[in-house]
Amino acid sequence: MQPLPQNENGEVKLPDNLPDDISMKIRNGGEIRRIVVDRQACIAARSCVLIAPGVFAMDEENLAYVVDPESTDDEMIRMAAESCPTLAIHLYDKDGNKLFPQE
């Protein structure tokens, strides 16, 4: 397993275009390494929780957040992201490149 890209201070490199209010976790393996929920875009459809309940949950504000990114595989995480009607779930690879949604 290769380490995630780091800046000169040894901190994990973040994508430049992250929303302000997010829930984010880093995975240790697989193609998808960073899962980000844009909580400003979340409309509480709960589709992510239905598809990948170990990865996503709803908080007291009825907004999705990332719980355990290791609890399922890349395919289920991608399906959960694709099921979001507002595309509030963003997926990144180990180099910080956005995998979903495509811009």
Q: What is the pLDDT of residue 90?
A: 95
Question: Whole-structure pTM over 0.85, yes or no?
Answer: no
User: Looking at the DSSP assignment, which residues form a beta bridge with residue 23?
Assistant: 37
Beta-carbon contacts of residue 39 (< 8 Å; ≥ 6 apart):
19, 21, 22, 23, 63, 64, 65, 88
Q: What is the pLDDT of residue 8?
A: 58
List the pLDDT tens digit at each of the 103 positions of the chain. Answer: 444 555 555 555 566 667 777 899 999 999 999 999 999 999 999 999 999 999 999 999 999 999 999 999 999 999 999 999 999 999 999 888 899 998 7
- For residues 51 and 25, give the distance between their C-alpha atoms in angstroms, rounded to a whole number: 18
Q: What is the pLDDT of residue 95?
A: 86
Burial 69-95 (b: 16+ CB within 10 A, else e): beebeeeebbebbebbeeebbbbbebe
